[in-house]
Amino acid sequence: MSKVAVIGSGFAGLSTATFLAHQGHEVTVFEKNSTAGGRARSFSENGFTFDMGPSWYWMPDIFERYFGLFGKKVEDYYNLIRLDPSYRIFFPDDEVDIPAGKQELYDLFESLEAGSAKKLEKFLKEAEFKYNIGINNLVHKPSLSPFEFINSEVISGVFRMQVFSSIGSHIHKNFKHPKLRSILEFPCLFLGGTPENTPALYSLMNYADLHLGTWYPMGGMVKIVEGMEKLAVEQGVSFKFDSPVKELVVDKDEISGVRINKELEEADFVVSGADYHHTETQLLDSSHRSYSEKFWNRQVMAPSALIYYLGIDKKVDGLLHHNLFFDEDFKDHAKELYDNPRWPSKPLFYACAPSKTDPHVAPEGKENIFILVPVAPGLKDSKEIRDKYLEVILDRMENRTSSNIRDHIVYKKSFSINDFKSEYNSFKGNAYGLANTLRQTAFLKPRIKSKKVKNLYYTGQLTVPGPGVPPALISGEVVANYVNKIYDV
């Protein structure tokens, strides 16, 4: 039986550990923090329970498949509901709610631009095709060579996949109304890029959004973490929390064990689900690193985030569960994220009020609000900056919802670049890993297999397939299946 050390209990670490244990390996997960979930942990204060990171549950099929591969169902672990409307967008002049129902969605498009409902139907048909090939085929590859992608399904569909054109031009060709363009461009934020540098292949995310829908696990996103941790234990995984890995001990070109404080834990192979850059630069000496610092500095990082967790002592009218404040120009904000990294002058932001759906996350009659502002990674982060942006955001929220919010804040906490670094050893304090640009897709991303150390593998949002909860589950599966072919159980 091979002994495996998995570093980190984020979604990718949990996934890879569970698959490897299921395949018969002896798996221990070493996690620096005291609970599982990584960026998706939660905390409770004053009767409020806050999800710390992800809040959008998209692609329910991927979660069903995940639990299904172990003979389980999602409902064995948590109760999922579909949100309708899926979300609200605050534009400069009004609000648009995105309905879950197809006909209502077509009606909405048609009301903004004559003829756009038919175009949307065709757009989503193409997106469905991309989703099916992308999710069933492309993302399940270890992506160690471009030749893995040469198969009849991919070759015959290569032009329809639109890998080499941008999603921005694809949307602009089909839709003229600025609000429709914004609705369709919004998922690029999940991919960490802009509509201009994200391949049109990723209109598959529009299919995920507008067809598969926005869901919510009652109790919060942390219920997914709890479900996956429970499943991992059922499959035989051992967890060691408060156990930061300090060093990978390498003899010649092979790891013999992982050092946690002063203890050395033997391992036949290691899968790191911790931040790739951290593993390379902090746990290995320079001769064993696959990528140079120059390489990392060339990568287009997905944004970091400035987050506020607010407890409000009343219900806030005018908000839905998910609310996108697109009342400023994304182009200006994007420049400050990517081209000229600086704190945004007029940020777009996102406000999540899960207590609109879920009575468990706030005391009765109160509101749990999570606010996220995308910001460039690597910026200087300070209390003064965080305080300043909270004022800007509260002004805009109060104005648009016609509610007094600031006088009703009974709990407040912020989280940003410095916390991403200290809590998760995150490169430049990134929140979502690498942007999914064309040059950072599939075999062009940092590889799942170390180039220098024989028995070291990587999973998670800085390798394939990329950022997001569903990709993290797939990343863990891909790595486990790859190494399972190499090591005896």
Ligand X SMILES: Cc1cc2nc3c(=O)[nH]c(=O)nc-3n(C[C@H](O)[C@H](O)[C@H](O)COP(=O)(O)OP(=O)(O)OC[C@H]3O[C@@H](n4cnc5c(N)ncnc54)[C@H](O)[C@@H]3O)c2cc1C
The reply on whether position 377 binds ligand X by CB under 6 A is: no
Among 25, 39, 170, 223, binds ligand X (CB under 6 A): 39
Torsional sign, CA 314, 352, 378, 248:
positive
Q: Which residues, 6+ apart, have CB-to-CB distance to 271 below 8 Å?
A: 4, 5, 6, 7, 13, 16, 17, 20, 457, 458, 459, 479, 480, 483
The reply on whether position 54 binds ligand X by CB under 6 A is: yes
The reply on whether position 96 binds ligand X by CB under 6 A is: no
The reply on whether position 10 binds ligand X by CB under 6 A is: yes
The reply on whether position 80 binds ligand X by CB under 6 A is: no
The reply on whether position 138 binds ligand X by CB under 6 A is: no
Q: How many C-beta neighbours within 10 Å does residue 476 have?
A: 28
Q: How many positions of this chain bind ligand X (CB under 6 A)?
A: 38
Return the structure tokens found at 348. Answer: 């777009």
Calpha distance 268→369 (Å, rounded): 45
Among 188, 225, 231, 372, binds ligand X (CB under 6 A): 372
Containing 239, the helix (H) or strand (E) segment is strand 238-240
Calpha distance 460→38 (Å, rounded): 11
The reply on whether position 370 binds ligand X by CB under 6 A is: no
Stretch that binds ligand X, among 35-43, 67-75, 164-172, 194-202 (CB under 6 A): 35-43
Among 25, 28, 38, 403, binds ligand X (CB under 6 A): 38
Return the structure tokens found at 486. Answer: 């190499």
Q: In which residue are the tokens 């672990």 written?
A: 77
8 versus 257: smaller Cβ distance to ligand X: 8
The reply on whether position 472 binds ligand X by CB under 6 A is: yes
The reply on whether position 337 binds ligand X by CB under 6 A is: no
Return the structure tokens found at 44. Answer: 């409770």
Buried b (16+ CB within 10 A) or exposed e, 341-365: bebbeebbbbbbbbbbebeebbeee
Among 133, 232, 469, 478, binds ligand X (CB under 6 A): 469
Q: How far is the CB of 121 from ligand X (least distance, A)?
A: 26
Torsional sign, CA 12, 18, 24, 30:
positive
The reply on whether position 478 binds ligand X by CB under 6 A is: no
The reply on whether position 183 binds ligand X by CB under 6 A is: no
The reply on whether position 232 binds ligand X by CB under 6 A is: no
Q: How far is the CB of 110 from ligand X (least distance, A)?
A: 29
Residues binding ligand X (CB under 6 A): 7-13, 30-33, 38-40, 53-56, 244-245, 273-275, 278, 305, 307, 372, 424-425, 431-433, 460-461, 467-469, 472
